[in-house]
Amino acid sequence: MKTIPPGSTIGILGGGQLGRMTALAAARLGYRCHIYASEADPPAALVAAAHTEAGFDDAAALDRFAQAVDVVTLEWENVPAWTVERLAERVPVRPGAGVLAVCQERVAEKRFVAGLGIGVTRFAPVPDERALPGAIAEAGLPAVMKTTRLGYDGKGQTALRDAAGAGEALDRIGGGPAILEAMVDFAFEFSVVTVRGLDGSVASFDPVENRHANHVLAETLAPAPITAAQRVEAVRIAERIAVALDLVGVLGVEMFLARDGRILVNELAPRPHNSGHWTMDACACCQFEQLVRAVCGLPLGSTTRHHDAIMTNLLGDDVLGWPAILAEPGARLHLYGKAEARPGRKMGHVNRLFPIGQRPDR
């Protein structure tokens, strides 16, 4: 195992807020970051040492990028496999193309997790409209129909409550291919952010509850209101998936706690996760520093939670409340440097910390 020492350059595919916060964490450890993104002025580039503005299909730009960095990671899992494979011929890429092959396609992801003997929602692939009757019989109704690729924060998905509306529902999300997932009677959604190092070591943050508004994460509450046994099981599930993927980096595992007590995996994200932002202020080592440590072959940091926390996303015009947040004792404000506040757009977040066991909602 070759350690990539401080002073080296980390290449990051994608220029959004996750890349920005990774670059800030890397700088604290003495690394430079080079952002590769198609935008002219992405949030991550504002805090990085270098920025390549080019498409993910630009072979010449990718080759130059590979020559300028010592390792590559990503802040967005939908980077084309070809891009990762080309870079990997020239420089280590962590996580690699094999991880993305599973996590970029929802049917493959569900089959992978189910193949490990881990619970998932009932599902069925919908390659085209002709497959709808069989998919409905397999998954059942009511259900959620999702595109198999892309789609996030509620985009690329629609509810399906009766078979008569199936064709129209498929049209609403682009006509397929799609996946049909049975709706789950769940108490709440929660997640585990886990990290796996280059040496195979694994560490996880405490499970956290996630609350949404209009399909976008609004709040994360750390820790989640689950039993000690459920906590152990949730962490075991996340770490087992990370090991099975042979992941090097950070993995966000979204789960449901069903009302009958079962834990079901919903989706995977092989990168820092929005529900892990609370770790920036409430843990000994945050998810972004853990990513840097993992991809550079450094020892993983402690995931110990020293405070309870509530993370609140600042969506759209919520960001205009920054003066009041800055005046609030104990509030930790993180802004992403985005120029335009659109409805539902993640402009920043705020972490509010509480002594262990004294979070006001508990």
* One domain for residues 176 and 231: no
Are residues 194 and 328 both part of a single domain?
yes
Residue pLDDT, tens place only, 20-38: 999 999 999 999 999 999 9
Averaged pLDDT for residues 171-179: 82
- Separation in Å, CA 89 to CA 55, 66, 203, 296: 18, 9, 29, 18
Domain CATH code at residue 23: 3.40.50.20
Could you give the number of structural domains in the chain? 3
Checking if the pLDDT of 253 tops 70, the result is yes
Q: Are residues 221 and 349 part of one domain?
A: yes
Find the CATH number of the domain harbouring 253. Answer: 3.30.470.20
Domain range spanning residue 236? Answer: 186-354
**Structural domain includes residue 163:** yes
* pLDDT value of residue 169: 81
Give the contacts of 282 (CB within 8 A, at least 6 positions apart).
222, 305, 306, 307, 308, 309, 351, 353
In a domain, 116, yes or no: no
277 plus 192 within the same structural domain: yes
Q: Same domain, yes or no, for 137 and 246?
A: no
Q: Tell me, yes or no, whether 237 and 150 share the same domain.
A: no
CA distances for 166 relative to 49, 130, 173, 341, angstroms: 49, 11, 11, 35
Q: Which pLDDT score is estimated for 330?
A: 86
CATH number at residue 168: 3.30.1490.20
The model's pLDDT over 263-295, given as tens digits with 9 standing for 90+, comes to 999 999 999 999 999 999 999 999 999 999 999
As a whole number of angstroms, the distance between CA 52 and CA 35 comes to 6
Average pLDDT estimate for 46-54? 98
Residues 167 and 247 in one domain: no
Per-residue confidence (pLDDT) for residue 252, from 0 to 100: 98
> Which pLDDT score is estimated for 155?
66
Within-domain flag for 33: yes
- Based on the fold, state whether residues 144 and 283 are members of the same structural domain: no
Look at residue 66 and tell me if it is in a domain: yes
In a domain, 306, yes or no: yes
DSSP string, 107-160: HHHHHHHHHTT--B--EEEESSGGGHHHHHHHH-SSEEEEESSS--TTTTEEEE
- Three-state SS at 63: helix
Domain-located, residue 314? yes
Residues 91-133 have pLDDT tens digits of 999 999 999 999 999 999 999 999 999 999 999 998 888 888 8
pLDDT band at 148 (very low <50, low <70, confident <90, very high): confident
pLDDT exceeds cutoff 80 at 362: no
Q: Chain-wide mean pLDDT for the chain?
A: 94
Over residues 298-311, the pLDDT tens digits come to: 999 999 999 999 99
Verify that 163 and 202 share a domain, yes or no.
no
Whether 295 and 198 have beta carbons less than 8 Å apart is answered as: yes
* 151 and 196 inside one domain: no
Structure confidence at residue 1 as a pLDDT band (50, 70, 90) = low
Q: Are residues 196 and 310 in the same domain?
A: yes
Pick the last residue of a domain from 136, 158, 182. Answer: 182
pLDDT at res. 310: 98
